[in-house]
Structure formats: structure tokens, C-alpha cells
Amino acid sequence: QVQLVESGGRLVQTGDSLRLSCAAPGRTFSRSHMAWFRQAPGKEREFVAGISRSGSLTAYGDSVKGRFTISRDNAKNMVYLQMNSLQGEDTALYYCAADAQAILTSPPPTTSRNYDYWGQGTQVTVSS
């Protein structure tokens, strides 16, 4: 069983910044596109950001473009989500996911069904 472990979620104020981290096993991480999804109560899981195996390609959900940045450190088997200008609508449980079938030159998928492994989630709450 591949375990992804998210961290960094907490209660913040509107306009604050926050960085989420996700640790993955090395063998899985090296061959995977990585992504962040989020799910708010009563809503469907939403794609937030994705990054290709090499880190050269990224994708973002429309609601976070220009505010969030995904990155990865392949030496540390870590993926990060830098979130700036946080708003109440960003309140959700944030999940890290790995697409272990990733093709090296392809962009990261934006749909959850393409991802094989998931973490337990880290809660981000934005208060006004």
C-alpha cells in the first residue's frame, strides 16, 4: 500500500498564505505525476494543481490560477502547494495524489480517476 502524507493545513485568515507539503515513497514518486485536489463539505472533489514527473509541466484549476503554485523536489520525494491570497472559498480538505502510470512527456491529468494513490488529506480553513 502506497502512503502519501500531507501536512501544513491549518486555520488562516483571508488574504494569508500557506504552504502544503506531501511526502511520497521514493519509488512511487519518481515515476508519478503529482497533484493536489480539494473537497469542501457538500461539494465534489476538485482539481487544484498538478505537476509532471519531471516538474516541467504544471496545470491549475481555474479558481486558483495566479494564486497557487505547485512544485516538487525530486531529491526529497516531496510535492508542495504554495497558496497565496487565500479566500473563504478555499476552505476544504486538501488531498495529495499520485498518477503512477505517468508518461514522462505528458502533462499531469486534471481528473481524479487518473490518480492511483491518495493521501488522507489536510484541512485548510480560511476565516474572515
pLDDT tens-place string over residues 106-127: 999 999 999 999 999 999 999 9
59-105 per-position pLDDT tens digit: 999 999 999 999 999 999 999 999 999 999 999 999 999 999 888 88
In sequence order, the β-bridge partners of residue 80 are: 21, 71
Tens digits of per-residue pLDDT, 5-49? 999 999 999 999 999 999 998 888 989 999 999 999 999 999 999
Inter-residue contact 30 to 106 (CB < 8 Å): no
Report the chain's terminal Cα–Cα distance, integer Å. 39
